[in-house]
Structure 1
Amino acid sequence: MARSSADDDELRRACQNAVNDGGGAKGGNKQKVVLSIRVAKSHGIWGKSGKLARNMAKPRVLAISTKSKGQRTKAFLRVLKYSSGGVLEPAKMYKLKHLSKVEVISNDPSGCTFMLGFDNLRSQSVAPPQWTMRNIADRNRLLICILNMCKEILSRLPKVIGIDIVEMALWAKENTSTVTNQAKPQDGGPVASVVTENDLTVTVEKELVSQAEEEDMEALLGTYVMGIGEAEAFSERLKRELLALEAANVHAILESEPLVEEVLRGLESASICVDDMDEWLGIFNVKLRHMREDIESIETRNNKLEMQSVNNKAVIVELDKLLERLRVPSEYAACLTGGSFDEAHMHQNIDACEWLTGALCGLEVPNLDPSYANMRAVKEKRAELEKLKTSFVRRASEFLRSYFASLVDFMISDKSYFSQRGQLKRPDHADLRYKCRTYARLLQHLKSLDKNGLGPLRKAYCCSLNLLLRREAREFANELRASTKASRNPTVWLEASAGSNQSVNNADTSNVSEAYAKMLTIFIPLLVDESSFFAHFMCFEVPALVPPGGPANGNKTGSNDDDVDDDDLGIMDIDDNDSKAGKTIGELGTLNECLQDLLNGIQEDFAAVVDWAYKIDPLRCISMHGITERYLSGQKADAAGFVRLLLDDLESRISMQFGRFVEEACHQIERNERNVRQMGVLSFIPRFAILAARMEQYIQGQSRDLVDQAYTKLVSIMFVTLEKIAQTDPKYADIVLLENYAAFQNSLYDLANVVPTLAKFYHQASESYEQACTRHINMIIYIQFERLFQFARKVEDLVYTIAPEEIPFQLGLSKMDLRKMSKSSLSGVDKSISAMYRRLQKNLTSEELLPSLWDKCKKEFLDKYDSFVQLIAKIYPSETMLPVAEMRDLLASM
């Protein structure tokens, strides 16, 4: 008999390594392979035809392994497959605790094929794989090991179909000589024993039926057989015992009759006593019911008296509280009706406002019992408080309107607040804000008392401060322009007559854009701060523009260090409800409308600076555009909407002014085409290179799109104008084009390497240059060798219509005609080539282009002559022409 694969130690060691290396062990808790055996895996059905790939058996190795964890032991069924290199590697792992069925396939005549069913498979619709063993012994050996594991570790057996367990147990006894039963040592966990016979190793844990269970079953079966043999005698004995028991019961009953009679007499006397007791209890029950009714009536009257007393006390307390609410303290009444709003008296005004707000809230239904709301005293007191509120709001509003106007008038009347000749003055509103901050709490209380009352106050503040801001901006802009010295550059850049102004165009005008940047640096943070201060001071429920200590604080316009806290008005802690994150869109819209009144008109001074800078140097629009974009990207707060609009308008105005400059430059370019004839490089080609170089110097990061659009428009007009000028004299059109396109490339070579937009036009000019060169060279070649290439063209035209051998017999294409043409065209070819060179040189004004053009001309002529010689050799094989090599050497020597 062949040796079983279960005894293969090499196979077991390979399985052990594959299980532990393939993720079967975590840390030091490794799995131990108990049994490993080779099997064949298939999905086919015995006795039926199926797809070849489906029914083909695949070699696999089944391994049973255990893993101990504390007092518990887990058992696994591992499926291993062979890799391409013949090495075992894990394929699948099943836990034996989920094994529900072991079925031997009945269609397999050998009985070596079985199927294992697990209850935790995700798809129960897919048939599980079938495992085929080499022989019945291997099958029994594997199944006995699995069943022993289930019984010992899981204390249960799976359902076995198609095989007798007793038969398997008998096979196990026959094939096992030494059985070491499982023992549980002190450290816990089952230990699998090994049984051997004739070098056959079988791993079992216990017999399927123990010796004690077998003896009990035999005893039970022996008793069962005995009962069958003595059934009649056993029945007779039971009948006799039953009759004896019945006789004994009747005798016992007869002996106990006196006792029964005595018991009956006792029960009768007890019944008489119970009847008497029931009659007495009925009498007492009636008396108790009458007494209970009397007690209830007394308690009811007593409870009503107590409730009335408690209610009277509670009413007195509530009335005292209500009277306290309705009382108006005399000091508050005097302050609300005729108190002063000076700074020294603001503490009393704030206290009076707080009391009035609390009193009005206390008389509202949520804070007041609804039953009191319609009382006459409450209505009268509410009307009195409303009069006090209206009077106070009117007086406070009139005072604040006049106060704001007086503050601004005082500052406007003092010229030291504004820029003067020879001195730029940075606006300083620290003192103004300090004085306004005194009344911040008052405005908070005015808003809580009457929300609509803040509208006129906001408008008055905006109108007053608008005068101050516009005056500061106007004086600052005027002095800024007056103190900035810059040479004015003309806007004539690309005109032919502007060559004498070249030195003027190189004048440094950087202080112009620096002046514009200073204007933004001073006033944009000031306007943002004013917007933030106004939003908080006038109690708008909007988020802060810049949190305290934010980056904008570094740009404060005040001269004192206290300006860092300009936005901290000390008003956010008055009412926590005012600092809620949920802000309405309507409040933000109202704020932006007020900011329009606050800052409207100041944009005129910014626009005046832009126009002034444009007149000095239009190209400074590029720098100013970049400066404006940087400031615009930093203004993201919704409450500073007007500042964003101001920057957007400035950006649009700068773009419009620069667009005017570009349009004027385009008109200057277009005026060049009105000349009768122009030769050589047009004036706007080199001047555009100078213009582009200077525009690149002015770009400050974010103005790339503005300059690229200008490049696109200018170069497009330049190319269109160049084409129009070239067409005025078709004879010299290609010369004009190639010279100007070459000049365009030479002048913009460095810039095209770093500017993508110019690189695109550089390549376009390069293509146009090559096309113009090709046309001009071909024209010169055909003029000098007209007869030669006319003859070749006639031959080429006939090649497509008649046979090559018939062409020499055509009119004008005979061999004699070929010899005459060759003699006239190639007899003095060196002189013809020299004439071609002189013709190329004759009308070319840019001498530096002549070498490259002459090289192109020689190459083009040599290619055409090579084609001509090949054509003649094909049509006139007997005729000899000047060899191409000699022509190449001749051209090289010229």
Structure 2
Amino acid sequence: MATSIADDAELRQACEAAIEGTDQQVIMAIRVAKSRGIWGKTGKIGRHHMAKPRVLALSIQTKGQRTKAFLRVLKYSTGGVLEPAKLYKLKHLSKVEVITNDPSGCTFTLGFDNLRNQTVAPSQWTMRNIDDRNRLLMQILNICKDVLGRLPKVVGIDVVEMALWAKENKPSVTTQRNQQDGGPVASVVTETELKVNVEKELVSQAEEEDMEALLGTYVMGVGEAEEFSERMKREIQALEAANVHAILESEPLIDEVLQGIEAATNCVEDMEEWLGIFNVKLRHMREDIESIETRNNKLEMQSVNNKALIDELDKLIERLRVPSEYATCLTGGSFDEARMIQNVEACEWLAGALRGLDVPNIDPMYANMRAVREKRAELEKLKSTFVRRASEFLRNYFASLVDFMISDKSYFSQRGQLKRPDHADLRYKCRTYARLLQHLKSLDKDCLGPLRKAYCSSLNLLLRREAREFANELRASTKASRNPTVWLEGGTGSGQNVNAADTSNVSEAYGKMLTIFIPLLVDESSFFAHFMCFEVPALVPPGGVANGNKAGYNDDDANDDDLGIMDIDDNDNKTVKNSAELAALNEALQDLLDGIQEDFYAVVDWAYKIDPLRCISMHGITERYLSGQKADAAGFVRLLLGHLESRISMQFSRFVDEACHQIERNERNVRQVGVLSYIPRFATLATRMEQYIQGQSRDLVDQAYTKFVSIMFTTLEKISQTDPKYADIFLLENYAAFQNSLYDLANVVPTLAKFYHQASEAYEQACTRHISMIIYYQFERLFQFARRIEDLMFTIAPEEIPFQLGLSKMDLRKVLKSSLSGVDKSIAAMYKKLQKNLTSEELLPSLWDKCKKEFLDKYESFVQLVAKIYPAENVPSVVEMTDLLASM
């Protein structure tokens, strides 16, 4: 067989040199490759999976009768010198496993049961060939058997195969080693050197020979079975006889043993009697100890309970104690600003004391104690006394604040000076008592109702006085000439009010009134809601006011509703609206602000008297403010703006009704000729109304347009019916004037565009009727003859018509002669008749063109009818008639 170069004497010597000083003898050293889980992996081999050269050395150490075996791992240093790397004790070797993923079978792992980190995969050792692997593993197994007396678990290889391999490799073998210079060196290993490796098998040679001899003793043929059976029977009988003899010989010994057992039994019985006596005494002692422990435990428990009861009673007494300073403050203290901190502290203590006496803050058993009930009644009395005193003080305080401000005339607007209301000082003084109101609410929520009414009643006087003085001075300081309301009356020329006076300062005054007071009222509503502890959302976004704020108004008190206090009931972060609270707030705001609307109404009525059309501008301003009021708690302000809007709409409707009445008065005139005066006046009125809209109040103006035009057209039709002879001329002239005057506005105002088209259709119909009347007046016989023919064509054949009475060829020639003999004169008469009653000369050219076209259409129909009924008759052609009309 081939010799191995993995193990040689020189390698063992190098290993012994590396472990010099350890008193260990190297039995075997072999070169291996170390890896960690490389077999069975895919992909690239990482740095930790690369094979590294190592030397495994088996060493033993003898101390007296004890022998220890070790497995050493040595590695090569930078200079190629072996140095120890790891040391394992073979007594901890638990498993030897050959890796099945390695097809060569040269890779195995050694498992030790004393390794600290069992989660790390053990190192894998790879030999150069199977023989080297078997040599090392056999040596390890032999050492474990001889030195340790046990074998590790072997996985992946058969032990019998290992024994067979050991028997086959008993002779001496030649090993080769590679030195660092790379040259092979052969060395002969004698049998004595290998006896440690190969002689110590799992089953020794002597044991194997004994087993073969034993088996050879019983190797017999099939024919000797009976003889073997008889032999076995004789041997059994001999053994039984020998056993009986041995038993009989041992009888004296048995008697001696029985006597000893009897003596021991007597001793045990005496011991049992003594133990029974001791057990009774111990039971009595245990009962006495238990009785003593029970009494002791009861005394200890009673002591603990008494101590706990004393502590609990101390706490209860402390809870029931009313501090003298708080009692004095609650029953007779002052409400001056300097004393408010003490009042608030007393309120907080009182509220906490009342809550502390309520279940579950206090044990239900204590709640029914007489002392607790009496103390609760005492606290309730303190509460009612303090609430009554504080409420009376606040009611008087609110009234005194307002009385002081009302008595100072310089605070309000005066002649020649408009003064914006300033409530900063009022709110500052009220804020002093804001926290007191919070505590009053927590103590008695019902007390807030009278306080809210008192505050609303007092402040309402101040707000109404401010609004009245401001509105009066606003009207007195606004200079504007009054425009007459007779816009559409027909007594004067059509140019009336074209240069109407500028009344823009009227609507500006109204806007200023809203600019000053609407944010003020919103702020007052917001301050009142927070000051009087209503549980509603914020009225105005933080840091701003309502969208109605305009230039010229700096809201210095934009954050006046921020009282700088914490809500005791933790309602600051509530987002769900309390409908009951909101209804109560709006009811209180009605009391707070009611009556102030009269001053706004007075400004609206004053502006209407100066210029009714300014209602349009005021309506737009009101709409803009109304769209900015969205907070539910400012409901009164929205109602006020809504009532103002209704008031303005009512006044404007009054103006529209009066103007419509002026239009209808034209109907009662004796006779109307030409264009009615209200047609151009309406155009002037519409132009000015559009100027006042400025992007707002479109619906208001459109409704006015609809009412105006409907009355105008209805009145026009009624007036035309008074003289049917000239009705069409009257209608077409007025409808034409309506279109001409509103042409520019109709291009930008959809509502006027609709009426423009309606007037255009009425104009065309009046023109058609008037022209047809003129044509029939001059050529009545001609077109009457044609109409008779058309009527008969529905009942008889065309060729039979010339034989009817009055429709013969002779009758046709008479009609042609009477109607067309002087056709140029008849056409000139038509033109004169068209011109005669027309007052608007600019309409004549277009009407004459329409008349000629209508006449040619009718004449062409007549010529075609004659050619069909009277084909042999000679009638002037349409071309001749067209040329004649063109030459005139």
Same fold (TM over 0.5): yes
The amino acid across from 1:773 in the alignment is C
CA contact (8 A) 1:525 1:557 kept: no
Cα deviation, residue 348, structure 1: 1.1
Secondary structure (helix, strand or coil) at the match of 1:609 reads: helix
Q: Which residue of 1 aligns with 2:379?
A: 385
Partner of 1:690: 684
Measured in 1, the distance between the counterparts of 2:701 and 2:760 equals: 22
CA distance in 1, matches of 2:585, 2:419: 29
For 1:605, the equivalent position in structure 2 comes to 599
**Cα offset, 1:503, TM superposition:** 3.9
Deviation for aligned residue 1:326: 1.2
CA contact (8 A) 1:335 1:352 kept: yes
Counterpart of 1:402 (choices 393, 396, 402) is 396
Deviation at 1:283, TM superposition (A): 9.2
Correspondence 1:570-589 to 2 at 5 A: 570-572=564-566, 574-589=568-583
User: What code does the residue aligned with 1:723 have?
Assistant: E
When normalised by structure 2's length, the TM-score is: 0.69
Query: 1:131 aligns to what?
Result: none
For residue 561 of structure 1, report the CA deviation from its aligned partner. 8.1
CA contact (8 A) 1:341 1:349 kept: yes
> Aligned equivalents of 1:250 and 1:853: distance in 2?
162
Partner Cα separation in structure 2 for residue 824 and residue 855 of structure 1: 25
- Among 865, 876, 879, the alignment partner of 1:871 is 865
Aligned pairs for 1:842-881 (under 5 A) are 842-881=836-875
The number of aligned residues is 656
> Residue 295 and residue 873 in structure 1: after superposition, are their counterparts in 2 closer, same or farther (change >3 A)?
farther
Q: Measured at CA, do residues 526 and 252 of structure 1 come closer, stay the same or move farther in structure 2, by a change above 3 Å?
A: farther
Tell me the residue number matched to 1:645.
Answer: 639
- Tell me, yes or no, if the aligned pair for 2:398 and 2:458 is still in contact at 8 Å: yes
**Is the 1:490–1:505 Cα contact (8 Å) retained in structure 2?**
no
Q: Report if the CA contact (8 A) 2:619-2:648 is conserved.
A: yes
1:752 aligns with 2:746: yes
Structure 1 residues 813 and 309, CA gap change in structure 2 (3 angstroms): same
Deviation at 1:430, TM superposition (A): 0.6
| CA deviation profile, 1:493-535 (whole Å, cap 9, x unmatched) | 1110154882486111110100000000000000000000111
Q: Distance in 2 between matches of 1:248 and 1:295?
A: 77
Q: Note if 1:309 corresponds to 2:303.
A: yes
User: Are 1:669 and 2:677 matched, yes or no?
Assistant: no
Q: Which residue of 1 aligns with 2:464?
A: 470
Query: Structure 1 CA distance, aligned partners of 2:673 and 2:235?
Result: 157
- Indicate if the aligned counterparts of 1:426 and 1:557 stay in contact, CA closer than 8 A: no
Distance 1:766 1:313, change over 3 A: same
Question: Which residue identity lines up with residue 436 of structure 2 in the other structure?
Answer: L
Residues 196-223 of structure 1 deviation map (CA, whole Å, 9 limit, x = unaligned): xxxxxxxxxxxxxxxxxxxxxxxxxxxx
Counterpart residue identity of residue 847, structure 1: E
For structure 1, which runs of at least 5 residues remain unmatched after alignment? 1-69, 72-238
Question: Is 1:489–1:505's contact at 8 Å kept on the other side of the alignment?
Answer: no
Aligned residue in 2 for 1:729: 723
Go from structure 1 to structure 2 and tell me whether the alpha carbon gap of 1:270 and 1:410 turns closer, same or farther (over 3 Å shift): farther
Whole-angstrom CA distance in 2 between matches of 1:476 and 1:796: 82
Matched, 1:838 2:832: yes
Residue 285 of structure 1 and its aligned partner are, at CA, apart by 8.2
SS at match of 2:387: helix
How far apart, in 2, do the equivalents of 1:835 and 1:247 lie?
A: 176
1:559-578 equivalence runs, <5 A: 563-572=557-566, 574-578=568-572
CA-to-partner distance for each residue in 1:621-679, whole Å, 9 max, x for gaps? Answer: 11100100100000010110100110011000111111111111111111111112111
- Cα deviation for residue 738 of structure 1 reads 0.7
CA contact (8 A) 1:512 1:613 kept: yes
1:422 to 404, 407, 416: 416
1:427 is paired with a residue of what secondary structure?
coil
Within 5 Å, which residues of 2 pair with 1:228-627? 295-499=289-493, 502-503=496-497, 506-552=500-546, 555=549, 563-572=557-566, 574-627=568-621
Q: 1:385 to 1:243 in 2, by over 3 A?
A: farther
Q: 1:728 to 1:359 in 2, by over 3 A?
A: same
Could you say which residue in structure 1 is the equivalent of 2:887? 893
Q: CA deviation at 1:773?
A: 0.7
1:251, distance to aligned residue in structure 2 (A)? 11
Distance 1:851 1:317, change over 3 A: same
The one-character-per-residue Cα deviations of 1:821-851 (angstroms, maximum 9, x if unpaired) are: 1111112111111111111111111111111
Is 2:437–2:532's contact at 8 Å kept on the other side of the alignment? yes
Deviations 1:713-758 (A, max 9, x none): 1111111111100011111111111111111111111111111111
Of structures 1 and 2, the larger Rg is shown by 2
Asked if 2 retains the 8 angstrom alpha-carbon contact of 1:526 and 1:556, the reply is no
Identity %: 83
CA shift for structure 1 position 295: 4.8
- Output the CA distance in 2 between the equivalents of 1:246 and 1:774: 155
Rounded Cα–Cα distance in structure 1 between residues aligned with 2:817 and 2:836: 27
Distance in 2 (CA, whole Å) between partners of 1:775 and 1:270 is 160
Residue deviations 1:3-54 (CA, integer Å, cap 9, x gap): xxxxxxxxxxxxxxxxxxxxxxxxxxxxxxxxxxxxxxxxxxxxxxxxxxxx
SS at match of 2:557: helix
Query: 2:799 aligns to what SS in structure 1?
Result: helix
CA deviation profile, 1:359-386 (whole Å, cap 9, x unmatched): 1111111211111111111111111111
* 2:800 alignment partner in structure 1: 806
User: How far apart in 2 are the matches of 1:606 and 1:250?
Assistant: 142
Task: Map 1:155-174 onto structure 2 (within 5 A).
Answer: none
Question: What residue ranges of structure 2 are gaps of 5+ in the alignment?
Answer: 1-41, 44-221
Structure 1 distance, partners of 2:390, 2:588, is 20
- The 1:288–1:841 alpha-carbon spacing in structure 2 relative to 1, beyond 3 Å, is farther
Distance 1:369 1:248, change over 3 A: farther
Matching residue of 1:182: none
* Pair 557,745 (structure 1): closer, same or farther in 2 beyond 3 Å: closer
Q: What is the rounded CA distance, in whole Å, between the counterparts of 2:380 and 2:885 in structure 1?
A: 112
Distance 1:774 1:286 in 2: 145
**2:448, 2:463 → 1: CA distance?**
22
- Cα shift at 1:389: 1.1
CA shift for structure 1 position 580: 2.6
Answer whether contact 1:606 1:650 (CA < 8 A) is retained.
yes
2:489–2:662 CA contact under 8 A, matched in 1: yes
1:703 corresponds in structure 2 to 697
Q: Return the offset for 1:252.
A: 11
**1:774 and 2:783 aligned:** no
Query: 1:187-198 to 2 correspondence within 5 Å?
Result: none
Asked if structure 1 preserves the Cα contact closer than 8 Å seen for 2:616 and 2:701, the reply is yes
Q: Taking structure 1 as reference, are residues 403 and 888 closer, same or farther at Cα in structure 2, changes over 3 Å only?
A: same
In 2, distance between residues paired with 1:890 and 1:878? 24
Describe the SS at the equivalent of 1:384. Answer: helix
Check conservation: 2:439, 2:568, Cα contact below 8 A: no
Counterpart of 2:450 in structure 1: which amino acid? P
**AA at the equivalent of 2:341:** H
SS state at 2:487 partner: coil
Aligned amino acid, residue 748 of structure 1? L
Shift in Å at residue 597 of structure 1?
A: 0.7
Q: Which amino acid aligns with 1:887?
A: M
Per the TM alignment, residue 555 of structure 1 is displaced from its structure 2 partner at its CA by 4.5
Mapped partners of 1:498, 1:270: distance in 2: 161
Q: Distance in 2 between matches of 1:796 and 1:558?
A: 80
RMSD, aligned CA: 3.5
Q: Deviations over 1:754-811 (max 9, x none)?
A: 1111111111111111111111111111111101101101111111211111111111
Contact 2:515 / 2:548 at 8 angstroms: preserved in 1?
A: no
The structure-2 alpha-carbon separation of the partners of 1:737 and 1:303, relative to structure 1 and needing over 3 Å to count, comes to: same
Give the Cα–Cα distance (whole angstroms) in 1 for the partners of residues 380 and 683 of structure 2.
78
Q: Which amino acid in the other structure matches residue 614 of structure 2?
A: R
